[in-house]
Amino acid sequence: MEYTISLTDNADSAIEGAITAPLIEYNRVFMGPSNWRTLAVLLRDRSNSVVGGLLGRTSYGWLFTEVLAIPEAVRGSGVGSQILERAEREAIARGCHGAWLDTHDLHAKRFYERHGYVAFSEIPDYPNGFSKVLMRKSLLPVVA
C-alpha cells in the first residue's frame, strides 16, 4: 500500500476520529474499554446564553478538566468552585477515582490547590517566563 503525508491546520472531527481510531482500538485491547464520555458544566446568564463553564471528559476512572473558564465579572464569587465541584460529583457518579488537569502557574494553580489538587509535573517556560503545571486530585473519600 502506498501512503502520502500531508499537513493541515484544520482537522475536523472526521479527521480526528480517523487519527485516534487505531490508538483507541490498541488501548482497548490492552487496557480494556475507556468508558470515555464528555462532561460539560455550563454557566448561563439571565438570557440563558452560555458564558462560561467547564469542559472535560471521563475515562479510565479519571476526570480530565480541559477548560474551566468564567467571566471576569463573577470571579471570586464562588461560581468557579461550584462548577468544579459539580464536575467532580458527576465524575464520582460515573465511577471515577481521580481527577487531573493542566494549568499555568498563575492564579489558577492556587485555585485548584484550594480544592485539593496537587502538582505532579511542570513544563517550564510554557509560555516563556511561566510554567504549565499538571495537577491531580483523589476523588475517593478520605478514611480516618
Q: What is the CATH number of the domain that holds 87?
A: 3.40.630.30
Position 49 in a domain: yes
Position 12 in a domain: no
List the domain range (segments joined by +) for residue 131.
Answer: 35-138
Which of 85, 94, 45 minimizes the C-alpha distance to 65? 85
Position 89 in a domain: yes
Q: How far apart are CA 144 and CA 3, in angstroms?
A: 59
Position 88 in a domain: yes
Pairing of strands 118-124, 131-138: antiparallel
Q: What are phi and psi of 90, to 5 degrees?
A: -65, -40
User: For the chain, what is the mean pLDDT?
Assistant: 92
Position 115 in a domain: yes
Structure confidence by residue, pLDDT tens digits, 95-131: 999 999 999 877 799 999 999 999 999 999 999 998 9
Position 15 in a domain: no
- Indicate the Cα dihedral angle 93, 95, 97, 98, nearest 10°: -70
The pLDDT, as a whole number, for residue 19 is 87
Q: How many domains does the chain contain in total?
A: 1
What is the Cα 103 distance to its own chain's centre?
Answer: 10
In this structure, of 19-23, 34-38, 85-89, 132-136, the range with the lowest mean pLDDT score is 19-23
Question: Confidence band (pLDDT; 50, 70, 90) for 26?
Answer: confident
Position 10 in a domain: no
Question: Confidence band (pLDDT; 50, 70, 90) for 67?
Answer: very high
Q: What are phi and psi of 74, to 5 degrees?
A: -110, 0
